Chains A and B, each alone.
Chain A
Amino acid sequence: MKVLVGVKRVVDYNVRIRVKPDGSGVLTDGVKMSMNPFDEIAVEEAIRLRERGVATELVAVSIGPQAAQEQLRTALAMGMDRAIHVESTTALQPLEAAQVFCALAQQEQADIVLLGKQAIDDDSAQTGQMTAALWGRPQATFASAIQINGGTARVTREVDAGLEVIDVDLPAVFTSDLRLNEPRYVKLPEMMKAKKKPLDVKPAAELLGAGVPRLELGAVRPPPARGAGIKVKTVEELVTELQGRGLI
């Protein structure tokens, strides 16, 4: 059983985001970049599927500039078998990324496409659902448990009302939620070994299908700043303050 995992290079979750003064985006020069945390969970889940004897071949895929290969090496060090770097100098939008994943899923004859539920840069949370739609296959988004039973999967999904359990036929697309697992740390020897694992590069143009409409991206602005707060000295003062604001 072959598992394809999406890995996106994003600004590290610990970095304070600064909007460029000209409103053209956020500052990324000299900023620490990492694997999207939800993708890390997806990589971990793929590796666990193999450890449980379910998956046999694990392929990490990243769409982006040359530098995205760093995150692919991390995925390889975690335990993925090989990597595909889909090279694109322009940032693909979710519908385009879905075209790429759908094309790769078909070329690779993947049984499972595992993506993060969203990337923490654009927060779209669309690529998994769109990939499933274009591929004409099931989607199990926001997954917190995945159990494979032959040609079907039973997936527990984190929904607002609680936990929803669905059965889907494979092949299918899953997107990982926070509770799915806790990713392992990568040790140095594994980073060294990962350098020898195969990494293919494909131009995005080869995998994108017919042109699709793109959202026009306008200005980026910082959110309204929060006003300066007050300090209280005692619990009693705090209670009075909360009462005064009608909060309790």
Chain B
Amino acid sequence: MAKVLLIAEHDGTKLNAGTAKVLACAGDLGADAIDLLVSGADGAALDGVCAQAAALSGVSRVLKNARPENVAPLAAILAPQIADLAAGYGYVLGPSTTFGKDLLPRVAALLRAPAVSDIMKVLGPRSFERPIYAGNAILTVSVPDGAPVVGTVRVASYKAVGEQAPAPVEAVGSSADLPTHTRFVELRAGSKDRPDLQSANKVVSGGRGVGSSENFRLIFELADKLGAAAGASRAAVDAGFVPNDMQVGQTGKVVAPELYIAVGISGAIQHLAGIKDAGTIVAVNKDADAPIFEVADIGLVADLFEAVPALVKALP
């Protein structure tokens, strides 16, 4: 019966890797069709992204929505079009990236529907699991009959779908009135020196034990050797060692890398909440009783000033 409208995220040339993971979630819904909506300003320029989208397993159709106002992925501009194009769909889903988190709640409100954030598991056609309290508890929520299911999918919970023979690409359009009150100025790309904390496969974080801003170069050296992102505990941020955009934890960034190395971090509750979903947690701390060892898969009780340089040297 129900069809899924999946909102693709892209940068104009490349489809965001999260889209293939949202598709995996959509595949669990048992829906009749999954249409992938690709929006942009210029139809011809979107063909590359549409081709990538069409080749993802499970996609029924790619809907190309070209409108000059869509020069940047602004929620205030996209939401009225999506709410309009969502007619006839039982589901409107997107990735729980900053793009999806910004956009889908606005779409939901325009549809007068509740929204489900961070779907991590599909329990039934209208029933889902999602993390609350930074993943310290898992809540089951159900969307009542009569309302469309609008939500974001926690991409870290799903594996990307494979490829298929290309699905058809069709042009669609919405004549919704679009506001002029929100205008894109520029995008300043993040530092490319190291991977982004939230999407990195490996993360090395330093805590208060690192001792100073200068000593943090040890953390950066280890991160660079591993090709990892660099993070910090709140204690290290509060002490002024590093800027707060590096903060990992419940009030900072919640990360889910394959490998997380905590250096000189005691393991305050709010930090542990931010690393719960990491594949393997390694802790290096000279205090054998530090709470970080209770969650670490591999613990090394050692002085970080000796262990970290030795580790940098020993790594292949």
* Complex contact A160–B198 (CB within 8 A): yes
Q: Find chain B residues with CB under 8 A from A134 CB.
A: 109
Classify chain A: how many residues form its interface, as a range: 35 or more
- Residue B214 at the chain A interface, CB threshold 8 Å: no
Instruction: Answer whether residue B68 sits at the interface, using C-beta atoms and an 8 A cutoff.
Output: no
**Given A123-B131, A142-B102, A178-B251, A220 and B11 contact (CB-CB distance below 8 Å):** no
Interface pair A238/B297, CB less than 8 Å apart? no
CB-based contact A168/B189 at 8 Å:
no
Any A CB within 8 A of the CB of B183: yes
Q: Which of A19, A137, A227 contacts B181 (CB 8 A)?
A: A137
Question: Which of A163, A169, A216, A230 sits near B187, CB closer than 8 Å?
Answer: A163
Chain B, residues 89-107, CB within 8 Å of chain A (1/0): the string is 0000000011101110110
In angstroms, Cα B249 to Cα A14, docked, is 11
| Residues 293 to 316 of chain B near chain A (Cβ within 8 Å) | 293, 295-302, 307, 310-311, 314-316
| Stretch binding the partner chain, chosen from B21-29, B37-45, B112-120, B163-171 | B112-120
- For B314, the chain A residues whose CB sits under 8 A away are 235-236, 239
Q: How many CB-defined contacts (below 8 Å) exist between A and B? A: 257
A231 sits at the interface (CB 8 A): yes
How many Å from the CB of B17 to the closest CB on chain A? 11
Residues of A within 8 A of B132 (CB): 26, 121-123, 220
In contact, A163 and B109 (Cβ under 8 angstroms): no
Q: Given A26-B137, A162-B189, do A138 and B270 touch, yes or no (CB 8 Å)?
A: no
Known: A129-B105, A166-B74, A223-B138. Is A161-B190 also a contact (CB below 8 A)? yes
Is B247 engaged at the interface, CB distance under 8 Å to the other chain? yes
Chain A residues whose CB sits within 8 angstroms of the CB of B142 once the complex forms: 215-216, 218
Q: How far is the CA of A141 from the CA of B268 in the complex (A)?
A: 28
Q: What is the bound-complex CA distance between A222 and B97, given in angstroms?
A: 24
Contacts of B116 in A (CB 8 A): 215
Q: Kindly identify which residue among B11, B101, B226 contacts A248, using a CB–CB cutoff of 8 Å.
A: B226
Residue from the list A129, A179, A242 in contact with B245, Cβ < 8 A: A179
Interface of A is mostly: mixed
A129-B112 contact given A166-B185, A239-B311, CB 8 Å threshold:
no
Interface size on B, residues (CB 8 A): 90
Most B Cβ at <10 Å: residue of A94, A123, A179 = A123
In angstroms, how far is the closest chain B Cβ from the Cβ of A126?
4
Instruction: Kindly list chain A residues whose C-beta atoms are within 8 Å of the C-beta of B102.
Output: 129, 139, 141-142, 159
Q: Are A221 and B198 in contact (CB under 8 A)?
A: no
Given A223-B276, A235-B302, also A142-B98 (CB < 8 A):
yes
The answer to whether B280 and A245 have CB atoms under 8 Å apart is yes
A167 to B117, CA, bound (A): 27
C-alpha gap A13/B247 in the complex (Å): 14
Contact: A139 with B109, CB < 8 Å?
A: no
Residue from B110, B131, B182 whose CB has the most chain A CB atoms within 10 Å: B182
Please state if A223 and B199 are interface contacts (CB–CB under 8 Å). no
Answer whether A229 and B293 are a contact pair too, CB < 8 Å, given A165-B185, A165-B186.
Answer: yes
In whole angstroms, how far apart are the Cα atoms of A158 and B101 in the complex?
12
**A54 CB-CB contact with B under 8 Å:** no
* A162 contacts B187, C-beta separation under 8 Å: yes
Between A and B, 16 residue pairs with Cβ closer than 8 Å are A14-B268, A95-B113, A122-B132, A126-B105, A132-B76, A154-B185, A158-B98, A159-B98, A164-B187, A168-B182, A168-B183, A212-B113, A218-B141, A220-B137, A226-B295, A229-B299
Given contacts A162-B190, A214-B114, list 8 more A-B pairs with CB under 8 A: A120-B133, A122-B132, A141-B98, A158-B245, A213-B112, A223-B276, A229-B297, A230-B299
